[in-house]
């Protein structure tokens, strides 16, 4: 099996792409966001062209095909609500849907609403440049020529640009390697192989138990231990599904009023940890552990604010790890020491228990860093580990990576990369000053990854479509964030995050996982307040935006 995995990203540049083509709107990406943007913009009567670098729809759920990949938001919440027929007719099989089922769902949506005819697949958007004379964008693609559009919608995903650390020697590796966020379409067979997994965030926590069952030996290379709670995934009973469907709009509304836009029915506790005795706290955490999944973040209302409450949750999870993992040395290694929930909480199926298997070992690469990949394995400062397969569960250049890999030039030709050199700057995570008519779906500065992504996407696309509809009806040519509104919003996003413990560890929310990335807290905490602000801005004639007559 001496085979290095080489996947070709995007076919070669097509010849004779022809003259520039003109549409009203270009959409980049065909995941949840891109598909809904096509749907809404077509409804407005716009001509729309979408580009997608994958060969199919699905975005995140197209690329993340690693073993064990599934959503950590309940299926009945992680789905579109724009069509009552759609939400009534689709049947979810599990409490947390696996990757393939979500992909099938997205494919169904693309077919049901006839969206594929607006999408060019296997097409990489390379640049977008704003022309101040015409107030239009020129969008260059690698495979489908050049397009001229009034509006550009970047539905490029928050976690779509993989972070592959630049370890020396990867090119020399004779085995198979893959990144969880860019998993090959053919199944990788780990049976009888010595496998290494680098990374223990959500993707590592999901794939490690599954790979451990197949591999001859699995070595987990851990830099930072993760806090993980059991998902308690289970088949979704027809009764539960029918109950939600009987009142789907009310169910959605309840969720939209939660700080994260979800988990309303999980019953968040409105108490502070300090209000309970140590015994009562223990019992409360135990009850939330039994509920399972990310609902654990609702165990106390001040988990992300009070150091005392946070430390109690952290102690509780460390106690669980001590109880599950039999080898005390392994248990100690697996115990996180950073603030609880400051990196995104993981939801697992048998993660800690996997380390009781005789074929699973763990290496602390914070003490003994990886020095290089060798032709037959991986060398840390202290040892060499022979490997047949290497899995990089090393995450993403989150929130800005997939935007900035497009060479975007706004007014005066200013590259967005230059404008964002000290961190992303947006108004409401929707637009950036100097880049008129260019919209981000769930961009930095919006709730995005701190909320349930699908409702957050729908809210953003609805706002963008309503805005474009307003411009067209009023015969206006453009909209752009104002400098003052943007500055105030950037400060506000940081101020809100600064009132919590979220900025206190090296998380991807801060860009801390990517060497050289500016350390700025990117998402906005508080879905209901954010939605209210967006609605207010629109109702006041797009306050904080400048409109070109």
Distance of closest approach, residue 179 Cβ to ligand NA7, in angstroms: 9
Residue closer to ligand NA7 (CB basis): 34 or 336: 336
Q: Any contact of residue 508 with ligand NA7 (CB under 6 A)?
A: yes
- Residue 355 phi/psi, 5-degree rounding, is -80, 0
Near ligand NA7 in 76-135, by CB under 6 A: none
C-beta closer to ligand NA7: residue 102 or 438 = 102
Q: Using CB under 6 A, pick the residue from 159, 220, 244, 312 that binds ligand NA7.
A: 159
Q: How far is the CB of 237 from ligand NA7 (least distance, A)?
A: 26
Residue 232 has which token pair? Answer: 């308690």
Count the Cβ atoms, other than its own, within 10 Å of residue 25.
27
Q: What is the smallest separation between the CB atom of 195 and ligand NA7, expressed in angstroms?
A: 16
| Sign of the CA dihedral with 126 first, then 391, 333, and 379 last | negative
Residue 527 backbone dihedrals phi, psi, to 5 degrees: -65, -50
How far is the C-alpha of 105 from the C-alpha of 121, rounded, in Å? 18
DSSP for 148-159, written as a single string: EEEEEEE---SS
CB of 520 to ligand NA7, least distance (A): 16
By the rule CB under 6 A, 281 interacts with ligand NA7: no
Strand partners, 533: none
Residues in contact with ligand NA7, shown as a per-residue x/- string from 451 to 490 under the rule CB under 6 A: ----------------------------------------
For residue 7 the two structure tokens come to 């996947």
- Sequential DSSP letters for 336-391: --S-TTTSPPEEESSHHHHTTSTTEEEEETTTS-EEEEETTEEEESS-EEE-SEEE
What SS3 state is found at 111? helix
> Toward ligand NA7, which CB reaches closer, 136 or 344?
344
Give least dist CB 508 to ligand NA7, A.
5
Nearest-10 crossing angle of helices 99-112, 32-43: 10
> Which residues, 6 or more positions from 282, have their beta carbon under 8 angstroms from its beta carbon?
316
Binding pattern to ligand NA7, positions 216-235, x when CB under 6 A? -------xx-----------
Q: Smallest distance from the beta carbon of 268 to ligand NA7, in angstroms?
A: 20
The size of the chain, in residues, is 549
Choose which of 118, 156, 309, 513 interacts with ligand NA7 (CB under 6 A): 513
Question: Is residue 68 at the binding interface for ligand NA7, with CB under 6 A as the rule?
Answer: no
Q: Which is nearer to ligand NA7, 201 or 434 (CB)?
A: 201
Cβ proximity to ligand NA7: between 395 and 436 the closer is: 395
Given 3-state DSSP classes, what are the helix, strand and coil percentages for the chain, each rounded to the nearest 5? 35, 20, 45
The least CB distance from residue 371 to ligand NA7, in Å, is 12
Nearest to 56 by CA among 130, 136, 111: 111
Using CB positions, name the residue nearest to ligand NA7: 201
| Nearer CB in complex with ligand NA7: 285/508 | 508
Least CB distance from residue 48 to ligand NA7, whole Å? 28
Stretch that binds ligand NA7, among 198-206, 229-237, 313-321, 481-489 (CB under 6 A): 198-206
In whole angstroms, the minimum distance from the beta carbon of 535 to ligand NA7 comes to: 26
CA distance 270 to 307: 17
Cβ proximity to ligand NA7, 52 vs 397, nearer residue: 397
Determine the Cα–Cα distance for residues 373 and 62; give it in Å rounded to an integer. 28
Distance CA 332, CA 198 (A): 19
* Binding segment toward ligand NA7, per CB under 6 A, in 8-16, 192-200, 246-254, 322-330: 192-200
Cβ 512 to ligand NA7, closest distance in Å?
A: 7
**Residues of this chain, 199-218, that bind ligand NA7 according to CB under 6 A:** 199-204
Q: Which is nearer to ligand NA7, 63 or 137 (CB)?
A: 63
Beta strands in 215-325 (DSSP E): 217-222, 228-230
Which of 41, 198, 481, 534 binds ligand NA7 (CB under 6 A)? It is 198
Binding span for ligand NA7 by CB under 6 A among 305-313, 376-384, 392-400, 530-538 = 392-400
Residue 449 to residue 427: CA distance in whole angstroms: 17
CA distances to 31, 77, 88, 191 from 95, rounded to whole Å, are 21, 10, 16, 29
Closest to 319 (Cα-Cα) out of 336, 303, 342: 336
Q: Is 344 in the site for ligand NA7 (CB under 6 A)?
A: yes
Contacts of ligand NA7 in 350-389 (CB under 6 A): 365
Q: Min. distance of Cβ 220 from ligand NA7 in angstroms? A: 10
- Choices 44-52, 115-123, 193-201, 351-359 (CB under 6 A): range interacting with ligand NA7: 193-201
Site string for ligand NA7, 409-448 (x = CB under 6 A): ----------------------------------------
CB nearer ligand NA7, residue 38 or residue 294 = 294
Residue numbers 297-336 binding ligand NA7 by CB under 6 A: none
Size of residue set near ligand NA7 by CB under 6 A? 21
Alpha carbon separation from 107 to 49, 140, 262 (Å, rounded): 18, 26, 24
Instruction: Name the nearest CA neighbour of 497 among 339, 372, 308, 313.
Output: 339
Q: How far is CA 236 from CA 84, 85, 101, 107, 293, in A?
A: 20, 20, 13, 21, 15
Write 365-371 long-range contacts (CB < 8 A, 24+).
365/198, 365/221, 365/222, 365/223, 366/222, 366/223, 366/224, 370/167, 370/198, 370/221, 371/168
Q: Which is nearer to ligand NA7, 161 or 203 (CB)?
A: 203
Residues at the contact surface with ligand NA7, assessed by CB under 6 A: 159, 165, 180, 198-204, 223-224, 344, 365, 393-396, 506, 508, 513
């Amino acid at each position: 099996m001496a085979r290095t995995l080489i996947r070709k990203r995007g076919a070669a540049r097509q010849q004779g792409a022809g003259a520039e083509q003109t549409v009203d709107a270009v959409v980049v990406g065909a995941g949840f966001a891109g598909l809904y943007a096509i749907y809404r913009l077509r409804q407005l009567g716009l001509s729309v062209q979408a580009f997608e670098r994958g060969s199919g729809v699905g975005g995140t759920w197209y690329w993340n095909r690693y073993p064990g990949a599934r959503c950590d938001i309940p299926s009945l919440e992680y789905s579109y609500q724009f069509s009552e027929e759609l939400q009534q007719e689709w049947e979810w099989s599990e409490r947390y849907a696996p990757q393939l089922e979500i992909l099938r769902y997205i494919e169904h949506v693309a077919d049901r609403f006839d969206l594929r005819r607006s999408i060019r697949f296997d097409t990489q958007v390379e640049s977008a440049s704003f022309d101040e004379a015409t107030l239009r964008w020129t969008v260059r693609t690698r495979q489908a020529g050049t397009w001229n559009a009034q509006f550009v919608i970047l539905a490029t995903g928050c976690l779509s640009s993989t972070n592959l650390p630049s370890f020396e020697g990867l090119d020399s590796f004779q085995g198979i390697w893959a990144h969880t966020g860019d998993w090959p379409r053919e199944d990788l067979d780990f049976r009888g192989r010595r496998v290494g997994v680098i990374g223990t965030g959500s993707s590592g926590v999901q794939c490690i138990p599954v790979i451990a069952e197949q591999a001859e030996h699995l070595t987990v290379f851990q830099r930072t231990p993760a806090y993980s709670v059991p998902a308690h995934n289970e088949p979704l009973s027809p009764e539960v599904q029918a109950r939600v469907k009987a009142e789907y709009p009310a169910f959605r509304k309840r969720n939209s009023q939660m700080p994260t836009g979800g988990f309303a029915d999980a019953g968040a506790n409105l108490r502070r940890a300090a209000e309970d005795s140590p015994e009562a706290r223990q019992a409360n955490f135990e009850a939330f552990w039994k509920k399972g999944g990310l609902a654990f973040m609702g165990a106390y209302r001040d988990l992300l604010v009070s150091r005392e409450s946070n430390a109690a949750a952290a102690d509780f999870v460390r106690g669980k790890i001590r109880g599950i993992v039999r080898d005390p040395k392994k248990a100690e290694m697996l115990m996180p020491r950073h603030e609880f929930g400051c990196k995104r909480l993981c939801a697992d199926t048998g993660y800690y228990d996997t380390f009781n298997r005789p074929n699973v070992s763990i290496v602390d690469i914070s003490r003994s860093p990886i020095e290089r990949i060798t032709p037959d394995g991986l060398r840390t400062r202290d040892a060499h580990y022979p490997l047949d397969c290497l899995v990089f569960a090393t995450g993403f250049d989150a929130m800005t990576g997939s935007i900035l890999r497009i060479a975007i030039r706004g007014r005066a030709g200013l590259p967005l990369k230059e404008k964002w050199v000290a961190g992303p700057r947006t108004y409401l995570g929707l637009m950036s000053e100097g880049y008129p008519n260019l919209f981000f779906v769930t961009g930095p500065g919006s709730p995005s990854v701190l909320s349930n992504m699908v409702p957050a996407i729908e809210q953003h696309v609805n706002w963008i479509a309503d805005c474009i509809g307003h411009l067209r009806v009023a015969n206006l040519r453009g909209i752009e964030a104002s400098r003052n509104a943007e500055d105030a919003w950037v400060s506000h996003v940081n101020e809100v995050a600064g009132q919590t413990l979220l900025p206190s560890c090296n998380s991807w929310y801060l860009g801390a996982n990517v060497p050289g990335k500016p350390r700025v807290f990117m998402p906005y905490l508080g879905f209901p307040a954010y939605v209210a602000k967006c609605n207010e801005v629109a109702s006041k004639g797009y306050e904080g935006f400048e409109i070109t007559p």
